[in-house]
């Protein structure tokens, strides 16, 4: 590469952590991102569901046999900093590599929960339910992100990229989706501050659009709001709902083109990225 040229994002020797990798969007991200990593890359897949993780792993290796895929079943909401440190370091040991061996250090915060969609926010009065929701969607994201950046500090690799999977719910209130809106708004702000504080990072909040996953089914089955239910049923029937494949293709392109400013949100439906 000529000096001063921008390093392409894909096709590099990459260390990537992906949360929520056992199903849905996470699984499709794993397969398609993994396909684009250079040989010798290491992919650390996290989720609670061990069986789902192994199935994702098999598909990733089918798409790209030249990389190492480490699966660590983990309930992110229950881990602390030492646990996350160990998970990341163990994956490096298992692959017999060091942080400095990579061109890209990449973390994708995809795990998240819907929270309570059966009640309006004026009914959310259970402390324990809030604690569980916030532990997964805010705290674990922050703690994992911190440990990842300690393993890959500034200067350790040419490119450190952080992707936060967000939602339209981060910027627009939706009836009966209160906790989800709160969690996504909080997370998006967290990553905005991260980008502001560390200009050496490449931070993207990517909103995948309304994607056809188990989460959508949960919304249809449990939402208290008739309009929300109707909207999702209609998208499924009319096939205007976004597929995991479509949204994965989009985020791959967004990361390749890098037309966003670090910290910014980009939605599946946004043009020009």
Among 1, 3, 96, 125, binds its own copies (CB under 8 A): 125
Q: Which of 89, 102, 98, 190 is nearest to 140 (CA)?
A: 190
Q: How far apart are CA 25 and CA 108, in angstroms?
A: 11
Residue nearer to its own copies on the CB measure, 197 or 237 = 197
The Cα-based distances of 93 to 38, 87, 90 in angstroms read 19, 10, 5
Residue nearer to its own copies on the CB measure, 26 or 263 = 263
**In the window 188-217, what residues touch its own copies (CB under 8 A)?**
188-190, 192-198
Residue nearer to its own copies on the CB measure, 32 or 147 = 147
Tell me how far, at minimum, the Cβ of 54 lies from its own copies, in Å. 28
| φ and ψ of 116, to 5 deg | -85, 110
Tell me how far, at minimum, the Cβ of 112 lies from its own copies, in Å. 14
- The two most distant CA atoms of the chain are separated, in Å, by 59
**In the window 72-91, what residues touch its own copies (CB under 8 A)?**
80-81, 84
Burial 93-115 (b: 16+ CB within 10 A, else e): eebebeeeebbbbbbbbbbbbbb
Q: How far apart are CA 223 and CA 202, in angstroms?
A: 35
Binding mask 130-169 for its own copies (x = CB under 8 A): xx--xx--xx--xx-xxx-x--------------------
**In the window 172-191, what residues touch its own copies (CB under 8 A)?**
173-178, 181-183, 185-190
Binding residues with its own copies: total (CB under 8 A): 47
| φ and ψ of 28, to 5 deg | -65, -40
Residues that bind its own copies (CB under 8 A): 80-81, 84, 120-127, 130-131, 134-135, 138-139, 142-143, 145-147, 149, 170, 173-178, 181-183, 185-190, 192-198, 263
């Amino acid at each position: 590469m000529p000096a001063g040229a921008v390093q392409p994002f894909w096709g590099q020797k990459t260390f990537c952590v992906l949360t929520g990798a056992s199903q849905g969007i996470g699984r499709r991200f794993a397969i398609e991102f993994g396909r684009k990593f250079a040989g010798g890359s290491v992919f650390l897949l996290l989720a609670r569901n061990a069986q789902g993780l192994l199935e994702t792993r098999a598909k990733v290796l089918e798409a790209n046999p030249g990389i190492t895929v480490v699966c660590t079943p983990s309930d992110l909401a229950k881990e602390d900093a030492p646990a996350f440190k160990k998970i990341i370091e163990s994956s490096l040991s298992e692959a017999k590599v060091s942080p400095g061996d990579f061109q890209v250090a990449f973390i994708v915060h995809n795990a998240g929960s819907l929270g309570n969609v059966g009640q309006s926010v004026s009914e959310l009065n259970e402390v324990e339910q809030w604690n569980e929701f916030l532990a997964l969607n805010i705290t674990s994201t922050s703690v994992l992100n911190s440990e990842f950046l300690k393993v890959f500090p500034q200067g350790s690799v040419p490119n450190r990229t952080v992707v936060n999977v967000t939602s339209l719910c981060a910027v627009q209130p939706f009836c009966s989706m209160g906790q989800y809106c709160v969690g996504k708004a909080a997370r998006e702000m967290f990553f905005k501050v991260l980008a502001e504080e560390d200009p050496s990072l490449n931070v993207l909040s990517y909103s995948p659009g309304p994607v056809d996953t188990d989460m959508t089914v949960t919304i249809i089955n449990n939402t208290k709001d008739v309009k929300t239910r109707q909207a999702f049923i209609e998208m499924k029937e009319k096939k205007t709902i976004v597929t995991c494949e479509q949204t994965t293709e989009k985020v791959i392109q967004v990361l390749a083109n890098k037309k966003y400013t670090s910290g910014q949100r980009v939605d599946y439906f946004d043009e020009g990225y």
